[in-house]
Structure 1
Amino acid sequence: MTKEVIDLRSALELLESIPGQMVHTDVEVDPSAELAGVYRYVGAGGTVARPTKTGPAMTFENVKGHPGAKVVIGLLASRKRVGYLLNSKPEKLGFMMRDAVKNAIAPVVVDKAKAQCQEVVHLATDEGFDIRKLIPAPTNTPEDAGPYVTLGMCYASDVETGESDVTIHRLCLQSKDEISMFFTPGARHLGAFREKAEALGKPLPISISIGVDPAIEIASCFEPPTTPLGFNELSIAGAIRGKAVELAPCVTIDENCIANAEYVIEGELLVGARVREDQNSNTGKAMPEFPGYTGP
């Protein structure tokens, strides 16, 4: 591919140039259950016997309650599409990932002037602030605990060593200024950072970058022992692209974020704070898992 992918926008431009890889709709869609339901038929052919069909990625350009915002879904839903986005043959993706780990390129911090993600800033202290109105997070099924961000790049650092890493966690919007973050039992990278900070009685600053280069989304899924604790997985994305991922200092916390993200949420993981994900909906469920079931 001749088109260089450096962020989400250039990734979408690349897919636009390839027949059958991207579709759009400007018909208003409700982010609560309807959006995911529409894409279920566009992207996977509906409820069919496996293997499901492989459809295009889709951009919803008219999301109810979120004027001016867009939601992209299905970006990484096929190995072939990931191959296009990472400039690799689909059957060679695993080899490319292996090589990227061996040839990691550490991220760099750039001046705030280059932080495209900070062109518009909303503060929790602003009158009328409500994260639920700012982020068009879908509620995928009527049983979901609430609206979820499912591809937020969560970035934090070890409070003692300063080592940083990025991982994906499911994030449920709970109130105007509160998000719950699910940690799988067992110390993953950010889980270890959180446990250490909490043991010291310290909140953990964290940035959540949404809408980034797909190489970052793929790289963030690595786990020990391939990438041991202290290994910043943004360096894998750097190796995939052949240049360092650019970070920028956050506005309100002592942490960095991905400089060209479409959205960045800044906050802290509070000491001892635990909530039920479904505290607002009382569905007794979380959200659908990738095999298709919905668990408690």
Structure 2
Amino acid sequence: MAYEDLRDWIKTLEKHGELKRIKEEVSPELEMTEITDRVSKSKGGKHGAGGPALLFENVKGFPGQTVLMNQFGSERRMALALGVNKVDEIAERISGLINMKPPTGGFLDKLKMLPQLGELTNAFPKTVSAKDAACKEVILKDGFDLNAFPILKCWPQDGGRFITLPCVITRDPKTGKRNMGMYRMQVYDGQTTGMHWQRQKVAAEHYRNALRAVAAANASGDVRTASVAAMAESAGGTVTIPDGPIGGLRQVALGNLKGSRLEVAVAIGTDPATTFAAIVPAPPEVEEFLIAGFLRGKPLEIVKCETVDLEVPAQAEIVLEGYVELGELRTEGPFGDHTGFYTMEDEYPVFHLTAITHRKNPIYAATIVGKPPMEDAWMGKAVERIFLPAMKMQIPELVDIHLPVEAVFHNLMIVSIRKSYPGQARKVMNAIWSLGQAMFTKCVIVVDEDCDVQDLGEVTLRVANNIDPERDVQFTLGPVDSLDHASRLPNYGSKMGIDATRKWKAEGFERPWPAMIEMDAATKARVDGIWAKLGI
């Protein structure tokens, strides 16, 4: 089921009893966070774990405006958002496509493939005209002001107000590929924000490619300055010209970068599948517009922007158009993050607005992050289930994975494997650390296939009993998440792998390995038959 837009999604939430309208006046400064935090951490009641979605209809200081929060904040709503009964159904669709083989029979075999081929066809976005794009009901090319929207200040020590659920769209200057990612944006004033592009994110690579392009165009001899080094480090890499006709590696002065821009567009309040597509850890070669279409089962409608050469979801509530000026950095933060700690101040690019378009009476969509569990826990669990088939393609022995919400996703991954040879658990650890965003995983625990990785009690039993710490714990160094405040250096630190599988003689374990205690099947069946009579 594809939702046309955010409003269609809200109607569905209400129809299913998953929406609570808040009539009391509530401030977007701290108060909405406190209310949403309490709701998202609720474990019982009418709506179960995660509470209901919240629509604030009486926003202090913003008469007539509404704010949607906690829209993905439960297992049921996450499935509803993707139009399925269970999120695992998406994984099954992906498995079907991955395992799709050319038809070997006649016409009937080809007909059987049509549904799968249709899924791929529906993934491609559809460009519509401005008159068919609801996001252009109001077009402001001058006199616009971000302060007109009820943007949240989430936590007391936050550096300001932050846009927390934006779909940020950029185009790679090198390949022309679009990317849609979710990066928080601190509001500096009515026309500028921060752009929190952590160096390992795709948009940050687009920024670096823009720097390299400018460097290649403007380089004239060796120019080395401290400001260039600082700028290059903040961009996440040295700005250089590759060896070629010019000869040698050269750097370009910061002054030569002024006036050079990377265009950016930001969609706020899209249909739920499109918003979710912005957070998935897809390969850079796969555009998120395609992922949105696949999840929706229907092409995503996109429309050209007014002032930048980019496309945005046509039915979005709000669209911000603009650019980052290469070489311009500004202090961003602190920000109360999903780790449960504040991310400290750092230097990030600045987003300058050139236009704002929006629907009439736009609905502002936001989320908050902090100590888990919160709304992002359910989004992270959906990512875990949906991308398991893709991980199995890279790591065939993989049976299941679990990213406990208490470890805020990138700090712990528990994996079960079909062990076939000595040292395989360590091979799997290293394979995980080589996979896209999985490279940030601080701790990897590997267990045998008969261990349910979703059962933390069972995992704890295996780890506590199956390891000799000196032998079975592996340490390595590499990139870590920018939010990791405990690493020895920003973005660089150590990781740990724990081999909690049964040890083999071929791995140097000479002692007998004991069997786990389990009742025999016949006794279980007999007790099952008399259980009701026991009155226990």
TM-score (norm 2): 0.48
Q: CA deviation at 1:68?
A: 2.2
Q: CA deviation at 1:93?
A: 5.1
For 2:14, the aligned partner's letter is: E
In the other structure, the counterpart of 2:190 is: 176
Q: Out of 296, 301, 306, which is 1:246 matched to?
A: 301
Q: CA RMSD in A?
A: 2.3
Q: Residue deviations 1:93-112, cap 9 Å, x none?
A: 55157359865412122111
Q: Residue deviations 1:74-104, cap 9 Å, x none?
A: 0111222111121213351551573598654
Counterparts of 1:250 and 1:138, CA distance in 2: 26
Query: Between Structure 1 and Structure 2, how many residues are aligned?
Result: 274
Query: Helix, strand or coil: the match of 1:270?
Result: strand
Q: Residue deviations 1:93-138, cap 9 Å, x none?
A: 5515735986541212211111110101223x32xx4212x22110
Counterparts of 2:343 and 2:293, CA distance in 1: 36
In the other structure, the counterpart of 1:35 is: 32
Note if 1:130 corresponds to 2:126. Answer: no
Q: Out of 76, 81, 96, which is 1:80 matched to?
A: 76
Counterparts of 1:264 and 1:91, CA distance in 2: 29
Q: CA deviation at 1:160?
A: 3.4
Question: Identity of counterpart residues, as a percentage?
Answer: 27
Contact 2:83 2:296 in 1 (8 A): no
In the other structure, the counterpart of 1:255 is: 310
Contact 1:209 1:261 in 2 (8 A): yes
Q: Residue deviations 1:154-186, cap 9 Å, x none?
A: 111122332112110011111121010101222
Q: CA deviation at 1:22?
A: 0.8
Counterparts of 1:83 and 1:165, CA distance in 2: 24
Q: CA deviation at 1:65?
A: 2.0
Q: CA deviation at 1:53?
A: 4.0
Q: CA deviation at 1:4?
A: 5.0
Counterparts of 1:235 and 1:76, CA distance in 2: 21
TM-score (norm 1): 0.85
In the other structure, the counterpart of 2:386 is: none
Q: 1:139 to 1:254 in 2, by over 3 A?
A: same
Is the radius of gyration larger for structure 1 or structure 2? 2
In the other structure, the counterpart of 1:143 is: 157
Query: Helix, strand or coil: the match of 2:135?
Result: helix
Q: Out of 277, 288, 292, which is 1:233 matched to?
A: 288
Q: 1:164 to 1:295 in 2, by over 3 A?
A: closer
Q: Residue deviations 1:233-260, cap 9 Å, x none?
A: 1111101222211111111111111100
Q: 1:99 to 1:217 in 2, by over 3 A?
A: farther
Note if 1:71 corresponds to 2:67. Answer: yes
Note if 1:185 corresponds to 2:183. Answer: no
For 1:86, the aligned partner's letter is: L
Q: Out of 201, 204, 207, which is 1:194 matched to?
A: 207
Query: Helix, strand or coil: the match of 1:71?
Result: strand
Q: CA deviation at 1:293?
A: 2.2
Note if 1:115 corresponds to 2:133. Answer: yes
More deviation in 7-16 or 233-242?
Answer: 233-242
Query: Helix, strand or coil: the match of 1:275?
Result: strand
For 1:34, the aligned partner's letter is: E
In the other structure, the counterpart of 1:294 is: 342
For 1:44, the aligned partner's letter is: K
For 2:209, the aligned partner's letter is: K
Counterparts of 1:216 and 1:266, CA distance in 2: 18
Query: Helix, strand or coil: the match of 1:16?
Result: helix
Counterparts of 2:94 and 2:152, CA distance in 1: 33
Post-superposition, which runs of at least 4 consecutive aligned residues in structure 1 deviate over 3 A?
96-104
In the other structure, the counterpart of 1:282 is: none
Counterparts of 2:163 and 2:92, CA distance in 1: 28
Unaligned runs of 5+ in 1: 47-51, 279-284
Counterparts of 2:271 and 2:297, CA distance in 1: 13
- The structure carrying a bigger helix percent of its residues is 2
Counterparts of 2:160 and 2:96, CA distance in 1: 36
Counterparts of 1:191 and 1:97, CA distance in 2: 31
Q: 1:112 to 1:87 in 2, by over 3 A?
A: same
In the other structure, the counterpart of 2:269 is: 211
